[in-house]
Chain A
Amino acid sequence: MLEARNLSAGYPGRAVLAGVSLAAQPGRVLALLGPNGCGKSTLLRTMAGLLPPLGGEVLLDGRRDYSPRQAAQRVAYLPQSRTAPNITVRRLVLHGRFPYLSYPRRYGREDYEAVDRALAAADALDLADRPLPELSGGQRQKAYLAMALAQETEAILMDEPTTFLDIRHQLEVLALVRRLAEEGRGVVLALHDLCLALTAADDVAVLGEGRLLALGGPEAVYQSKVLERVMGVRLDRSEGPGGRRYFCQLPEEG
């Protein structure tokens, strides 16, 4: 599956991250955490092949010689900023099948079936014939998620999929992420909400100071106090009927 090995990411002359090694694991959700500007998006974009690595490599099944098209059949990427072209949701989702098209660019029966599956999985069937610009933020998010699902990739990268969503939609997105992992896909997502990430992810990668500071299960990372240091908050934890929950607050002075 998708793996970053000793990866340096950033823009020419301005490295944001160096020496990062992590991988999407089948059946697991990996959350990237860290303060603003720590390079979560840059790392995802580099792993998605949108930015050339400054050093190290991005490997697919241990190989680095794959075309953008081959990568698009294996790895889906959901960017944070999305345009809303004036097309229907179904049409948008259909474009998720683009990596599988050969010339002459005609979508076939399989593609339409994959679209229906993806719409159902993303709970967006009722939106299928609505034009994108008419939708609310949460609905648009579902539409784009469905497009990524229609790509039918083993790995899915998501950049802040819960931003700008109300809490109900955030939880729905994370529930979908969980279902995707249960289907055996590897999900990597950048999140800014620590508490949500620690409860929803199987693994947590903490980015900061230009490198990967910690990688492990939520509890191990919580114990290590790295997150508290790099985010400048105090983290607490409680066991409740719904399972383990994490809380952030400002650290006490002194």
Chain B
Amino acid sequence: MKDLRISSTRTKYAIPALGALAVLSALLSLCLGAVPLGPGEVFSALAGRESGAAAQIVLYARLPRTCGCLLAGAALAAAGTIIQGVLGNPLAAPNVIGVNAGAGLCTALCAALWPARTAALPFAAFLGALGGVGLVLAIGTRTGASRMTLVLAGVAVSGMFSAGIDAVLTFFPDALNGYTDFRVGGVANLAMGRVAPAFWVALTALFLALSLAGEMDVLLLGEETARSLGLPARRLRLVLLALAAALAGSAVSFAGLLGFVGLIAPHMVRRLVGEDSSARLLWASALGGAALLTVCDILARTLFAPYELPVGVVLSLLGGPFFLWLLLRQRRGRRRGHA
């Protein structure tokens, strides 16, 4: 209704455009690779009309991989949007504040102790992510919760969890055999069976988060104002962080410790759709994150063909400098008096 006045043309078309981008990148991801395929071949393979080598490649290698990219990208980006908003900290992201590492540790543990229970992995990852965010939050509130403190606490917590992952892998070298590149994050050799349970966890969490988007808008006004408007701010903050943990955990459970999508994607889409509406921001970052990770994965497997990089490496190459740029901008902002 009148609300549309607020959104300019740019924000109105941004979400469909991001959706189109995600679809396009997914198609490209199905076509490109060691054996390039035409869109026609891909479609007939998807429709089940073929059974040749091309169909095998599409159905058992590229489709799970593409779905994994879309899902992990969307989940991590949505988690990043929630975390940055709820903590009021533009430097925060699932990989920065220890959520990913926590999820990774529990995934590794679960895979080591109950190798047959693939479907339990996203739930284990969720618990680990919850542990990570809880720990960082506790440290943050103890020490006054400045933006930098939170990031530093995240570094320390991530370090501990990473050591835990290494320890698990030392005792159970085969625990993460199904994963190529768990430590940097990768989606090569994914099987649909591992993506599916994570998909349901992420989908549920995303829709719950979207249903709380109106509350999230009010929460972003600051705790005082939010509570004076009748919002149970503290409870809502915990619920939203738990949903972010579920989202990030589901991605980690099949793709490993993918960094930086959760940091980059929210910042990128914020410029496109503004920050007026958390619902719009969540949609945009989920679609944008899906597209971003898929594009990165396409790059990872075509740039140095026949060699493949894990997608996490490409992401870190992009994300590291981006994070530094954010840090520098923060510093400047603080000097001007409104960090």
Among B215, B222, B225, B274, the one with the most A-chain Cβ atoms within 10 Å of its Cβ is B225
User: B224 contacts A68, CB within 8 Å?
Assistant: no
Chain B residue at minimum C-beta to C-beta distance from A99: B230
User: B227 contacts A105, CB within 8 Å?
Assistant: no
Residues of A within 8 A of B276 (CB): 87-88, 91
Min CB distance B141 to A, Å, is: 16
A30 at the B interface (CB under 8 A): no
Chain B residue at minimum C-beta to C-beta distance from A157: B228
User: A95 contacts B227, CB within 8 Å?
Assistant: no
User: A98 contacts B275, CB within 8 Å?
Assistant: no
Given contacts A50-B224, A86-B274, A88-B276, contact A72 B230 (CB under 8 A): yes
User: B228 contacts A79, CB within 8 Å?
Assistant: yes
A50 to B2, CA, bound (A): 33
Given contacts A91-B276, A98-B229, A112-B1, contact A85 B221 (CB under 8 A): yes
Docked complex: B204-222 residues within 8 A CB-CB of A: 211, 213-215, 217-218, 220-222
Chain B residue at minimum C-beta to C-beta distance from A45: B224
A76 at the B interface (CB under 8 A): yes
A90 to B161, CA, bound (A): 44
Min CB distance A220 to B, Å, is: 32
User: A101 contacts B227, CB within 8 Å?
Assistant: no
B139 at the A interface (CB under 8 A): no
Residues of B within 8 A of A88 (CB): 6, 276
B16 at the A interface (CB under 8 A): no
B231 at the A interface (CB under 8 A): yes
Among B2, B218, B230, B276, the one with the most A-chain Cβ atoms within 10 Å of its Cβ is B230
User: B221 contacts A95, CB within 8 Å?
Assistant: yes
Residues of A within 8 A of B225 (CB): 79, 82-83, 147
User: A109 contacts B1, CB within 8 Å?
Assistant: yes
A151 to B5, CA, bound (A): 21
User: B1 contacts A76, CB within 8 Å?
Assistant: no
Among B3, B220, B229, the one with the most A-chain Cβ atoms within 10 Å of its Cβ is B229
Given contacts A86-B275, A88-B6, A112-B2, contact A95 B229 (CB under 8 A): yes
A107 at the B interface (CB under 8 A): yes
Q: Which of A81, A98, A108, A112 contacts B224 (CB 8 A)?
A: A81
Min CB distance B260 to A, Å, is: 22
Given contacts A82-B222, A83-B221, A85-B275, contact A77 B230 (CB under 8 A): no
A67 to B227, CA, bound (A): 12
User: B230 contacts A67, CB within 8 Å?
Assistant: yes
A96 at the B interface (CB under 8 A): yes
Docked complex: A32-84 residues within 8 A CB-CB of B: 48-50, 67-73, 76-77, 79, 81-84
A129 at the B interface (CB under 8 A): yes
Docked complex: A84-125 residues within 8 A CB-CB of B: 84-88, 90-92, 95-96, 98-99, 101, 104-105, 107-109, 112
B232 at the A interface (CB under 8 A): yes
User: A90 contacts B6, CB within 8 Å?
Assistant: yes
Min CB distance B277 to A, Å, is: 8
Size of interface on B: residues with Cβ below 8 Å to A: 29
Among B213, B231, B270, the one with the most A-chain Cβ atoms within 10 Å of its Cβ is B231
A70 to B228, CA, bound (A): 11
Residues of B within 8 A of A90 (CB): 5-6
Given contacts A50-B224, A109-B1, A112-B1, contact A68 B6 (CB under 8 A): no
Min CB distance B52 to A, Å, is: 49
A214 to B253, CA, bound (A): 64
Docked complex: B91-141 residues within 8 A CB-CB of A: none
Residues of A within 8 A of B217 (CB): 91, 95
Min CB distance A127 to B, Å, is: 13
A82 to B222, CA, bound (A): 7
User: B221 contacts A92, CB within 8 Å?
Assistant: yes
Given contacts A91-B276, A101-B214, A105-B214, contact A77 B228 (CB under 8 A): yes
Min CB distance A154 to B, Å, is: 15
Min CB distance B57 to A, Å, is: 44
Q: Which of A76, A96, A129 contacts B6 (CB 8 A)?
A: A129
User: B228 contacts A48, CB within 8 Å?
Assistant: yes
User: A91 contacts B230, CB within 8 Å?
Assistant: no
User: B229 contacts A72, CB within 8 Å?
Assistant: yes
Chain A residue at minimum C-beta to C-beta distance from B212: A105
A108 to B277, CA, bound (A): 16
A69 to B225, CA, bound (A): 13
Min CB distance A217 to B, Å, is: 29
Instruction: Enumerate 16 A-B pairs (CB-CB under 8 Å) in ascending A order.
Output: A49-B228, A72-B230, A73-B230, A83-B221, A83-B225, A86-B274, A86-B275, A91-B217, A95-B218, A95-B229, A98-B218, A98-B230, A98-B231, A105-B213, A109-B1, A151-B229
- What 10 new A-B contacts, CB under 8 Å, besides A69-B230, A84-B338? A50-B227, A79-B222, A82-B222, A83-B88, A91-B6, A95-B229, A108-B1, A109-B1, A109-B2, A112-B2
Chain B interface residues toward A at CB < 8 A: 1-3, 5-6, 88, 211, 213-215, 217-218, 220-222, 224-225, 227-232, 270, 274-277, 338
> Ordered nearest first, which 5 A-B pairs have the shortest CB separation?
A105-B214, A72-B230, A69-B230, A77-B228, A83-B222
